[in-house]
A and B are shown apart, each in its own frame.
Chain A
């Protein structure tokens, strides 16, 4: 992974920038892990490769983001230490990405709802005054554009498919909708990084996201769920029950064989 290294600007609180890079990395890591669980379990061989490819794209983004987070933090932690050696409360990912692979429709809904936010997010981050984050974003845009297209086509196929595929796709969207609000929340960390000219105004992404989602769901003959109560807590490390199981599997090798490499 080669990304230009820039010195964080002095006006930004180092902790906020560290947390910001960590949040983005954690979103990608946990979603990548969920996709990794599908290796050899996707409904078709070709889709198996497609989904795990998306997982690998995300993992590439993780590596760059964690490496940068480690540099900003300045305590000598590398990407592996950050990925494998933290407690559950220290992971700051969105609750959406940790939701389980209930069925293929859930996998596709989760991917589509997340990627449709991720694309405008990285397009905005590409203009960041932080050269490293801008560089990571520029590379990610091309990958995420494909993630949106791939998942959107599946939403349409399933929604406008058979009676059962339509029902499953709608159920998945209804179930995951309450995790979408968290993607657009601006808390102190997000504000600090935005004010420093580094971060993205997540509230401004909502219109683009709504457009993408509505267009695709309409073509898929699906109903856009109504905004109701929205779950949150992931950004502060308060996770759903699923997170512990994910980390047990994700961290197993490093916990069983500390400092192992391959």
Chain B
């Protein structure tokens, strides 16, 4: 029997209602159903989740690592984009 590797799925868990799903890792599964079951067994053994998302890794569009400088570097010097950059005048009660 020819044996091909199963496709890869990215797994996201929601730990509590109200929180967003967070990426926890990836695993192989033959189909989407199996991806959910495998994720249940691999990532939720200690009560980590109330919900699981499985996304085919091939569906993820990623930024190019070589674009890193162009994309993210300039932001380092734009400190004024952080609220902590500003002193709040005492007179301002609510902001």
Contact = CB atoms under 8 A, between A and B. Distances in A.
Task: Tell me, yes or no, whether A binds B.
Answer: yes
A191 interface: no
Given A46-B42, A49-B42, A53-B45, A157 B30 contact: yes
A145 to B, nearest CB: 12
B40 to A, nearest CB: 8
Contacts of A49: 38, 41-42
A2 interface: no
B45 A153 contact: no
A46 B28 contact: yes
Interface string A145-160: 0100110010001000
- Chain A CB within 10 A, most for which of B6, B29, B33, B34: B34
A188 interface: no
- Chain B CB within 10 A, most for which of A45, A49, A162: A49
B48 interface: no
Contacts, number: 31
B52 to A, nearest CB: 13
Interface residues of A, number: 15
The DSSP consensus for interface residues of chain A is helix
Contact of B34 (A146, A153, A162, A164): A153
Nearest to A56: B45
A183 B42 CA distance: 31
A49 B31 CA distance: 17
A214 B37 CA distance: 23
B43 to A, nearest CB: 10
Interface of A: 44-47, 49-50, 53, 146, 149-150, 153, 157, 162, 164-165
Interface of B: 1, 6, 27-31, 33-34, 37-38, 40-42, 45
